[in-house]
Amino acid sequence: MLFTHIRRVLFPALLIFLLGGQAAQANDKLTLLLDWFINPDHAPLFVAQEQGYFAAHGLEVEMIAPADPNDPPKLVAAGKADIALSYQPQLHVQVAAGLPLTRFGTLIATPLNTLLVLEDGPVKSIADLKGRKVGYSIGGFEDALLRAMLARHGLTLDDITLVNVNFSLSPALLAGQVDAVIGAYRNFELNQLAIEGYKGRAFYVEEEGVPSYDELILVANPDHMDRAVLRRFLDALEDGVRYLVNHPDESWELFIRGRAELDDELNRLAWRDTLARFALRPAALDRARYARFAQFMQDQGLIEKALAVEDYATVLE
Amino acid sequence: MMSILRSLIIIACLVLVWQIIIWLSNVPHFILPAPARVAEAWWVHHATILGHAGVTLLEIALGLLFGALLGALSALALAYFRPARRWLLPVLVASQAIPVFALAPILVLWLGYGIASKVAMATLIIYFPVATSFYDGLRRTEPGWTDLARTMGASRWTLLTRIRVPAALPALASGLRVATAVAPIGAVVGEWVGASAGLGYLMLHANGRVQIDLMFAALLTLAFFAVIIYFIVDTGLRRALPWQPDKLPTEQEE
Amino acid sequence: MTNNHHQPSDNPASKNSRADKNSCAGISLAAVSLRYEGKYLFKELQLDLPQGQCSALLGPSGVGKSSLLRLIAGLQPFEPSGRVIIGKNQAQLPGHLSAEIAYMAQQDLLLPWLNALDNVTLGARLRRQRPDHARARDLLRQVGLADYERALPATLSGGMRQRVALARTLMEDRPIILMDEPFSALDAITRLRLQELAAKLLRGRTILLVTHDPLEALRISQRIFIMSGRPARLSEATLPEGETPRDPADTALLAHHAELLRHLRAADDDSAFGAQQ
């Protein structure tokens, strides 16, 4: 009698336990929207993917490359994706505009933006920009960055002519249509010029009066985010960064595995130049640094009021 | 007056549908803002918007002028010179298959970042519908007329200028209507590739700064002007071709 | 082809017209062959049309009446072994347009962007000559459209448009007129009126009239040819007496009409089961 009773209860319980255990072991799915087409700035993500670090943390991450960098944060804010790669300056503006976003991790911990000129060109210092043409892409902040950089040399935006060249920064510079470009990435456009046989000269924005900021960050929707799952994501990402730093050459092979179209000279050079810039501790947050940049944006008139850091950045425990 | 009232009613209905979509689908304001927000943005920034609108309108006007001229001349060349047909026609068709974002940077390289490259872009987009419609019209001349003209002793040139061209004018008009509808697209695409002024530029800029209300305000302004331009061109064409019956036949009178 | 001899004509209406100047303006076809999709439409066709008379060409559809007309007009090339002779001295080469011919089709072929007067003077404008507006106005008056010279074709009825076409044909002032079912698209009464008008105004010129209406042929022609078979052959039919336009209610004419219909039925059967070449 007792045996039958145990059987009737124990077996289903055992079954539920086993199945439930299986469910717990099934991977959590995450959609991650990259900021742009796949490029070496995304290295740790792909290393983590290829080395199985996401799977090891019980995650299945789908990475999607958009055509318009403005879209991913909007989609995450609208609840259509879990994670977006975005830019810290953008984040300040987006949150001020009412998008429900929060930064929970950092991918690239230094600015990549530069003011780029040709080494042999007429511009030897920023003061030489007076009366010259500067090309930019529409992103929204180039004029603010320029204003800060020019101010240090006693110039204003009226002393230069801004020309929107959209994404053709290097071609416009090489063709002589502009004397300098802003929005050029130090790991990309500099190498692009080198490949064409030209020496470029970069003025690093954070050395010229702009407070330091994170170029690439990870954002999520604070109302929808699963903090535990995203913490695991960051753990896997940190594993990826670690492997990348320790084994850069093997990492390159992982990056181009199955993506032969990425194996070109520009990417190889960019890879080498980006290695030192990845956030070694993706989850870490320097509050004062974020607050300082928010204040900079307010001073430049890009946002009305610098919000409290808690309103747009979070640390996952 | 009735037509103006009708237009106002249509606009009001569209705005209502827009608002209903927002209520029903809960789409966030940074993807599709409500009409009220867009109206407010328009009011606050109307000087900027209208300034940029002027630039885009100029690009559209010049694009229409050059595109229509080039298109009409190409069609005439194709109709009159037989070798032109064999060599030029495939090129003409291929030119339309090339996606604009591939051509635009080349134009910008040659013509700079000023208004010239935008006008060139618009011209390219307008050129094809005008050329093909007019060419089609020239090809399809009523055979009875060509027979009659030949028996009357008309030369090839006289046949072209006195009969085939006037007979093809309705087809040209159709092409021009299509061209007018796509002209704004041409101008805006040109601006996206690299511009410092114009509604396309303004939309991109607003998008980058997450000023979605302003982006939509610029977008609607563009749409409004596109409709006005179409209306003007359509009326002009109808006046220019008074002999072309505009209404569907209800009864033929004998 | 100007000829300064002023030949006397028995018709006062054609005084001062070129029909007098070149009274040898008949049409002759000798050994004319035309192929259509490999089969012969006509093979070594022989035809003589007397000058100054109206000859009608009847036959079932598809037999090649319009092709024959276009061939004579110079719009349709035919095999080089054949000859089309217009007037005594002019031999027409295949596809060569003659200056002696005016062409009037089933559609009025009025240019919709020109008013009636400009349509009548179309020939002069196409030849880069100065149009004779006075004469054009007079012709419009003769066809009964004096008040309509500024009217656009879209505002005119079918009958009125065909009358403008008739005025245009007269304006060309050619000795030979080729007409391809010019009145078939009109209603019965308008058709009768236009037949009378055409008969009156075109008197004295050499006319080849293609028609599918035997009554029309009987009313206004002086000779009737029936075309049948493939390759087509021509046979002549008899005609009643009298000046054209003949009265449609005349019993003799109606008898001829019945006879003609029988002839045409036979020709149609002939074409349907005729020898294929």
Domain ranges (residues) in chain C: 18-100+174-273, 113-173
> Cβ(A204)–Cβ(A279) under 8 Å?
no
Gap between the Cα atoms of A174 and A166, Å rounded: 15
Alpha helices (H) in C91-209, listed in sequence order? 116-120, 122-126, 133-142, 158-172, 188-201
Angle (nearest 5°) at CA A34 between A32 and A37: 140
Contacts of B195 in chain A (CB under 8 A): 164
- Structural domain includes residue B7: no
A222-227: average pLDDT: 93
Per-residue exposure over C199-236, b if at least 16 CB sit within 10 Å of its own CB, e if not? bebbbbbbbbbbbebbbbbbbbbebbbbbbbbbbbbee
- C24 pLDDT band, cuts 50/70/90, is low
Tens of pLDDT, residues A16-58: 555 544 444 578 999 999 998 999 999 999 999 999 999 999 9
Domain that holds residue B79: 33-240
Q: What is the pLDDT of residue A138?
A: 79
φ/ψ of C101, rounded to 5, equals -115, 140
Say what the pLDDT of residue A11 is.
62
Nearest to B204 by CA among B223, B213, B191, B186: B191
In which band, very low, low, confident or very high, does the pLDDT at C7 lie, cut at 50, 70 and 90? very low
Contact A108/A89 with Cβ under 8 angstroms?
no
Phi-psi region of A131 (alpha: psi -120 to 50; beta: other; left: phi over 0): left
Q: For all residues of chain B together, what is the average pLDDT?
A: 88
The confidence score (pLDDT) of residue B229 equals: 94
Q: Which architecture, in CATH terms, is A113-207?
A: 3-Layer(aba) Sandwich (3.40)
Chosen from A166, A169, A219 to mutate, greatest number of chain B CBs within 10 A: A166
Residue A129 gets which letter from DSSP?
Answer: G
Q: Can you give the pLDDT at residue A69?
A: 83
Region B49-73: mean pLDDT is: 94
A interface residues, B as partner, C-beta within 8 Å: 70, 74, 77-78, 90, 93-94, 96-99, 138-140, 162-166, 168, 171-172, 175, 177, 302
Q: Is residue B28 part of a domain?
A: no
CA C175-C180-C184 angle, to 5 degrees, is 130
Each residue of B142-178: pLDDT tens digit?
888 998 998 888 888 899 899 999 999 999 999 999 9
CATH C-level class of A27-109+214-311: alpha beta
Judge: B109–A93 Cβ closer than 8 Å, yes or no: no
Two structure tokens written together for A97: 């505009």
Interface test with B, best of C67, C122, C126, C156 (most B CBs within 10 A): C126
CATH number of residue B213's parent domain: 1.10.3720.10
Q: Using CA atoms, how far apart are residues B210 and B192, in angstroms rounded to an integer?
A: 17
The answer regarding whether domain C18-100+174-273 maps to CATH 3.40.50.300 reads: yes
**Sheet strands side by side (includes C233-237):** C101-104, C176-180, C206-210, C54-58, C223-228, C233-237
Q: Angle at CA B109, nearest 5°, toward B108 and B113? A: 45
Give ipTM to 2 decimals.
0.79
Decide: A187 and A42 in contact? Cβ < 8 Å.
no
Predicted local distance difference test score (pLDDT) of residue C136: 93
Cα–Cα distance measured from residue B193 to residue B108, given in angstroms and rounded to the nearest whole number: 8
Residue B70: alpha-carbon gap to chain centroid: 15
Q: Across the interface, do B144 and C70 touch by the CB < 8 Å criterion?
A: no
pLDDT digit string (tens) for C113-128? Answer: 999 999 999 999 999 9
Query: Residue B249: its pLDDT value, please?
Result: 53
The sign of the dihedral angle between the CA atoms of B231, B235, B237, B243 is: positive
> What would the mean pLDDT of A162-187 be, rounded to a whole number?
89
Question: What are the structural domain ranges in chain A?
Answer: 27-109+214-311, 113-207
pLDDT for the residue numbered B171: 94
- Nearest CB partner across the interface for C103, out of B142, B148, B245: B148
User: Is residue C72 scored above 90 in pLDDT?
Assistant: no
Question: Would you say residue C6 has pLDDT above 50?
Answer: no
More reliable by pLDDT, A248 or C33: A248
pLDDT at A10: 64
Count CB neighbours of A10 within 10 A: 11
What's the number of domains chain B is made of?
1
Residue C4, pLDDT > 60, answer no
Among B3-17, B109-123, C37-51, name the most confident range.
B3-17
pTM: predicted TM-score of the whole model, two decimal places: 0.78
Question: Residue A204 burial (CB < 10 Å; 0-12/13-18/19+)?
Answer: middle
**Residue B162: predicted pLDDT:** 92
